[in-house]
Amino acid sequence: MIGRMWRGAAIGAANADAYARHLGETVVPALRRLGGFRGAHLLRAQADNKIELRVLTLWDSRKAIEAFAGQDISVAIVEPEARAVLAAFDDFATHFDVTSFQP
């Protein structure tokens, strides 16, 4: 399994909440229609008024990620709705091999 990690930041809870809604209502449903998509997680960390956001999506393979991101899977896909509520975001995504340990 491959984990795809991307980072953004929002100013204020309203913008972070708007991004979370966009991710949950638009992005994740679209990803569910792609073969090899295995799930998504949104991580939030608040520091004063700035909220760091990390998105981790899980995929069967790099080939499956290409169906979403294109041939260069390091390029981040940041839709206009996300850009409108984020103060900053990475133009790239990082990929990791995932090893899971069960409790």
Among residues 1, 91, 8, the alpha carbon closest in space to that of 45 is found at 8
Question: Residue 102: pLDDT band by 50, 70, 90 thresholds?
Answer: confident
Confidence at residue 62, expressed as pLDDT on a 0 to 100 scale: 95
Mean pLDDT computed over 82-96: 97
**Predicted TM-score (pTM) of this structure:** 0.91
What is the per-residue pLDDT across 37-71, written as a single tens digit (0 to 9) for each?
999 999 999 988 899 999 999 999 999 999 989 99
Place of tokens 């960390």: 45
CATH for 2-97 is 3.30.70.100
pLDDT averaged over the chain?
95
Residue ranges of domains in the chain: 2-97
Q: How far is CA 62 from CA 37, 39, 58, 103, in A?
A: 11, 15, 10, 27
